[in-house]
Amino acid sequence: MTDSDSLPPIPLDTFALFFDVDGTLAPIEKRPELVSIPHNIRQALCAIYSAAGGALALVSGRALTELDALSAPLHSPAAGVHGAERRDAHGEIHRTELSPSLAIKLARELTDAIAGFPGCHVEAKGMAYALHYRQAPQFQRDIMAVAEAFAGRYAELTLQPGKCVVELKPRGVDKGAAINAFMRETPFAGRTPLFIGDDLTDEAGFVQVNALNGISIKVGPGASAARYHLDDVQQAHLWLLSLVEQQDNYSMKTKSSVGEDL
């Protein structure tokens, strides 16, 4: 695996930065509600957001409300539910939603469909549904079969496999499309994109960033479209903290240079 010292320099004033959360900024836990981002990493994100002129967005399978709670005090642009809901730099929310009647029907039917698999549960996100089996990996095939059956039954839905989870989400929604939307808007437009993630759900983001000649970083093992790799969340944290240190060093040199000119 590539370590963080092998990654190219990232001048924050010319980059657009996109961060996955679970498995990237935060270690994966048995249940989503147990996940947290360490305090020093949240502070680092705030510093990077400022240094990048606001060109930083979280891009996650989580809902926007969860992202805000996890990353506080950061309040940045963000794409939740794999891009089904997206908050731009002006605070405007863009959503791709299922019809209310279908959403209610899916919540009920999915809960009934996995009731026979102890340790598995449905996470309703409004515009998407995650079927979790991290606590019962022996049911992976069963849960995948349930998801495939629902995707085949409802044309509006498509599958998004992940780590011990499979999601049913609206067609045409993925992290690559979310990143592409950000890159057409201020303050992201005209910058070099960087996206770091860890899961199958992030591959569309890697592909999009590669197409824009950006930097794609996979956290953890496994084949990926990403051009760079980091071993684990701890190494991702060290790399992120190095971005802050890099910016601090740059600021100090700039101040020193200005002082010499006076």
Burial of 179 (0-12, 13-18, 19+ CB in 10 A): buried
Answer yes or no: 88 catalytic: no
* 8 A C-beta contact, residue 178 and residue 169: no
Strand pairing report for 85-87 and 93-95: antiparallel
| Alpha-carbon gap, residue 223 to 236, rounded angstroms | 18
Q: Which of 42, 45, 54 is nearest to 15 (CA)?
A: 54
Which of 3, 5, 20, 231 does the annotation list as catalytic? 20
Beta pairing class for 129-132 and 121-124: antiparallel
**Cα–Cα dist 65/80, whole Å:** 9
Residue labelled with tokens 């989503």: 32
- Degrees, nearest 5: CA angle 135-139-140: 95
Half-sphere exposure (Cβ direction) of 42: Cα atoms closer than 13 Å: 14
Residue 15: count of CB within 10 angstroms of its CB: 22
198: three-class secondary structure by DSSP: coil
Assign residue 95 a region: left if phi > 0, alpha if psi is -120 to 50, beta otherwise?
Answer: beta
Q: Are strands 165-170 and 192-197 parallel, antiparallel or unpaired?
A: unpaired
Residues annotated as catalytic are 20
